Structures are given as C-alpha cells and as structure tokens.
C-alpha cells in the first residue's frame, strides 16, 4: 500500500491578554451558525484589542493520507484527501466535525480530547468523481429533546449516528443508513453520485441534495433531485424534481422530451432555511449537463408541504438557449432580499 502523509488540523485559540475570564458558552449548532446561514457570532471575547494576544489552546490532526492498493474496490486506483473544508458544529461543549474522507469526529471543545470517531470508508470505492480529491464540509444535528443524532451524507449514503457514542442508529433506514440513489427517477452509476456538503435539518426532516461531475455528460446521468427524509426512521417524505417531470409545472418547457434523459441540475452546496418567511429552503442549483451555458438557478421551496413560492433567476455565462423552468412555481422577476448585520 502506498502512503503519503497529508495532515489537516483544527486549531483552537484563546486570548492571553488581561485577567482570566470565563469562556462564553454559545453553541454553533448548524453549518452556517443559524438556519439562515448568517455565519455570525455574538461572542465578544475576541475583538480588535484581544486578537493580537491569541495563543493555541489545543489542536487536533485528522492525519488522513492518500491510499492505493488492493484494499480498494478498484484495484490500483489511488485516492487522496483534498482540502480540509469542514465547518465544525458545537453543541454543549462537544464539537462534531467531518474530515475530507467523510469520517465524523466528536471532540471536547474545551480540551480537544477525542470522544469518538466514525469511518464510513468512503474511500473504499475509489476516488470521488472530481479532480481535487476527497472533501467534506460538515455534519448536521437533529434532536427531539431526549436524544441527539448526527447526520453525515457520504457518497450515496445518508448515515445517522448516536451523538453520544458515534454508533449508527439501527432503527434509521437499514442499519443506520439509507441509499440516496434508490428513489431517483432512473437507475444511475453510483460512482458518479456523491455528497460533500451537510444536510439541512428542519423540524423532523433531513433535507439534502447531491454532487456529480460536470465533465461527464451523457444521457441519464444522475438527476439532481432534492430529497427529504424522516429524521427518526429514514423514510423518504418527499422528492423535489429539479427538472420537472410530467404533470409538474414547467415540464412543457423541456422540449423533445429532454426532461426524460437530462441529469444534473443538482445542489451540491449547503442549504439555508428562511424561518422568517416560511419556512423556505433556499438553495443554489447548477445547470443541466446538456447545455453549453454556465449559470445558477435560485429557488425557494416550502419544506413541510413542498409547495413552491417563487422563482426563476437565470444567469448566462456563454451560449444561447431557450429559457426553461427548473422548479415548480410561478416564474417572476423579483429583487433579491439582501441581509446585512
């Protein structure tokens, strides 16, 4: 087996200026800090005056390495970790973080002590369908007040872990995980389907998109359906076809039955939830694979009832094609609401 060390570290800093003070206990429960993804913290201990006095409190090293050898599903294929892109979440002094290889680690946020780790062995199926190595951006947490679960979406699986032990929740799906490709509108090559961003949690729903290579264009490549699952059981609650199927609004804009073989139009980036208006789930869609235009679709979707509020914004980077509707809803031109703090 070929091994080269490539290290990824979390470093926690503290300030040494002034007299000792109690740490401020504030959770960071979701990827973006709050459901709307504002990435804002009200903590005040680190500021313009104290930042020059920061020192390392503790560090943690993922220590993930490129691997090649017969242990892989595809003999001889070399896999490697990419950049460390995860944003940890912190709940009750416990930090949960995913690594480039989709391992989940629970750490004591005050000391860096490792409580547990879970390895879905995402690398055992060979390199991801992307050119920059493995990466993963974080995990999601769900709680009903009595128990807490950590969700990791790795490749084509959604996995539920006990937040206290890191063990899969046996009652969720099959042995703690579900196959995200089983409910897609056609059979796909699973190696061309992946997940690199955390799900979003709303009430008892786990909502997620998918990732797929932009350079593998063929008929019936993986569709970019958005799916929602029951956080307790793993049962699929709804599916949102980003390319509308027969009977769905906008299907008629897909000429020559192109809806029946066009894939992608997926959501690989993290979602946000607009709790003030809805709730609404806001997500960026990439374009279908059969066009020659780069751009972005933005949509909002009511999570609980799967009714659709607005939406169509097309940004063309190159090429010319007929405008189309990618989501069920009323197509309008509206100014975007820009939030500032």
The per-residue pLDDT for 235 is 97
Calculate ∠ Cα 98-296-214, nearest 5°: 65
The domain segmentation of the chain, as residue ranges, is 2-267
Q: What sign results for the dihedral spanned by CA atoms 317, 318, 323, 326?
A: negative
**pLDDT of 141-150, one tens digit each?**
999 999 999 9
Cross-sheet strand order for the sheet of 205-208: 200-202, 205-208, 226-230, 236-240
Burial of 27 (0-12, 13-18, 19+ CB in 10 A): middle
Reply yes or no on whether the pLDDT at 314 is more than 70: no
Q: Which of 81-90, 125-134, 332-341 has the highest mean pLDDT?
A: 81-90
User: Average pLDDT of 294-308?
Assistant: 43
Q: Domain 2-267 in CATH: superfamily?
A: Quinoprotein alcohol dehydrogenase-like superfamily (2.140.10.10)
At 220-237, the pLDDT tens digits run 889 999 999 999 999 999
By percentage, how much of the chain surpasses pLDDT 70? Answer: 70
Mean pLDDT of the chain: 79
**Rounded Cα–Cα distance for residues 323 and 125 (Å):** 38
pTM above 0.85, yes or no: no
94-98 β-sheet, strand order: 89-91, 94-98, 104-108, 114-118
Evaluated on CA atoms 151, 153, 156, 161, the torsion sign reads negative
330: confidence class by pLDDT, cuts 50, 70, 90:
very low
**CA dist 132 → 48, 64, 175, 221, 240 (Å):** 36, 15, 31, 21, 29
- What the block records as the tokens of 299 is 């949509």
Q: Which residues, including other chains, have CB under 8 Å from residue 314's CB and lie 6 or more apart?
A: 295, 297, 323
Give the distance, in angstroms, between the CA of residue 249 and the centroid of all CA atoms in the same chain.
27
Report CA-CA distances (Å) from 340 to 163, 169, 337: 33, 39, 10
Dihedral of CA atoms 253, 257, 261, 265 in degrees, nearest 10, equals 0
Reported as a pLDDT band with limits 50, 70 and 90, residue 165 is very high
Please state which of the ranges 94-98, 161-165, 269-273, 323-327 shows the lowest mean pLDDT. 323-327
Number of Cα atoms under 13 Å in the Cβ half of residue 136: 32
């Amino acid at each position: 087996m070929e091994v080269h060390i490539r290290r990824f570290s979390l470093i926690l800093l503290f300030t040494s200026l002034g007299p000792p003070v109690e740490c401020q206990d504030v959770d960071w429960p979701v990827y973006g800090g709050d459901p709307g993804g504002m990435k804002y913290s009200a903590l005040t201990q680190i500021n313009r005056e104290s930042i020059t006095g920061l020192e390392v409190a503790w560090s943690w090293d993922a220590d993930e390495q490129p691997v090649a050898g017969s242990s892989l599903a595809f003999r001889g294929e070399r896999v490697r970790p990419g950049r460390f892109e995860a944003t940890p979440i912190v709940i009750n002094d416990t930090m949960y973080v995913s690594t480039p290889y989709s391992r989940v680690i629970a750490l004591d946020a005050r000391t860096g002590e490792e409580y547990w780790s879970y390895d879905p062995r995402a690398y055992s199926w060979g390199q991801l369908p992307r050119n920059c190595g493995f990466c993963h951006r974080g995990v999601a947490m769900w709680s009903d007040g009595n128990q807490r679960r950590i969700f990791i979406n790795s490749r084509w699986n959604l996995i539920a872990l006990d937040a206290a032990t890191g063990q899969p929740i046996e009652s969720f799906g099959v042995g703690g995980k579900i196959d995200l490709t089983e409910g897609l509108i056609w059979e796909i090559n699973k190696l061309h389907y992946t997940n690199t961003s955390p799900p979003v949690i709303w009430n008892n729903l786990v909502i997620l998109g998918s990732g797929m290579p932009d350079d593998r264009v063929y008929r019936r490549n993986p569709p970019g359906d958005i799916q929602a699952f029951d956080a307790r059981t793993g049962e699929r609650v709804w599916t949102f076809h980003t390319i509308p199927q027969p009977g769905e609004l906008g299907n008629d804009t897909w000429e020559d039955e192109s809806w029946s073989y066009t894939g992608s139009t997926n959501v690989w980036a993290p979602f946000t939830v607009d709790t003030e208006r809805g709730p609404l789930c806001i997500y960026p869609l990439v374009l279908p694979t059969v066009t020659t235009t780069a751009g972005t679709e933005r949509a909002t979707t009511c999570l609980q009832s799967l009714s659709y509020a607005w939406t169509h914004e097309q940004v063309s980077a190159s090429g010319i094609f007929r405008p189309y509707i990618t989501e069920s809803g009323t197509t309008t031109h509206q100014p975007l609401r820009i939030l500032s703090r």
